[in-house]
Amino acid sequence: QKEVEQNSGPLSVPEGAIASLNCTYSDRGSQSFFWYRQYSGKSPELIMSIYSNGDKEDGRFTAQLNKASQYVSLLIRDSQPSDSATYLCAVSGYSTLTFGKGTMLLVSP
Amino acid sequence: GAGVSQSPSNKVTEKGKDVELRCDPISGHTALYWYRQSLGQGLEFLIYFQGNSAPDKSGLPSDRFSAERTGGSVSTLTIQRTQQEDSAVYLCASSLERENSPLHFGNGTRLTVT
């Protein structure tokens, strides 16, 4: 059973702080990793994808992948109240795509 | 270009009735997925189509649920004899291929069974 684990939260951070969202996965053969943002009542929206070990930066977002530790994270710098949402980690292997249950992020003004 | 289109956006039906939900994927996307999301819950995989291959139906919760994809494009999810526990948001997503390609989601159909 391929599993993707996320802390459900909520993770509360003040505006301007760095939010750190974490995800672990069980399948060592996983090759592709995605972060989605889901606002309440809306559908998931892709914000980052990462395929190789290391960091990938896009604006205020940085995805970090460590395949040896089976760990992927998302850092949000200068967090804004508009970043308040549930963040879903998704992991793709040879023939499956598995979503975590998501971490709720609350950014307070 | 156009994103994934789902219709209807909202559907209210009486218990025991059949419903059909439609998904029009992004043009050129060969992979199509259906998920279900109950209030406050995570994504529940239902079914996956890839090109002309046999669909992966491993997530369908009962034989009341079925789906088809015609011509490798539009897909219809059918729920027969709806039950109150079927109430949820049904999300469709498409991608270029199953492996290594991100999914792009539609806006979903909110189904309410009364």
Confidence of residue A94 (pLDDT cuts 50, 70, 90): low
pLDDT digit string (tens) for A54-65?
A: 999 999 999 999
Q: Which of B6, B105, B109, B110 is the best mutation test for A, with the most CBs of A within 10 A? A: B105
For B108, the closest of A43, A88, A100 (CB atoms) is A43
Q: Which of B100, B101, B104 is the best mutation test for A, with the most CBs of A within 10 A? A: B100
DSSP string, B13-77: E-TT--EEEEEEPPTT--EEEEEEE-TT---EEEEEEETTSPPB-TT--STTEEEEESTTS-EEE
CA gap B2, B21 in Å, rounded: 19
**A1 and chain B: CB distance < 8 Å anywhere?**
no
List all residues of chain A from 4 to 63 with a beta carbon under 8 Å from chain B. Answer: 31-32, 34, 42-46, 49, 51
From first to last of its 114 residues, chain B has per-residue pLDDT tens of 589 999 999 999 999 999 999 999 999 999 999 999 998 888 999 999 988 888 999 999 999 999 999 887 999 999 999 999 999 999 999 998 766 789 999 999 999 999
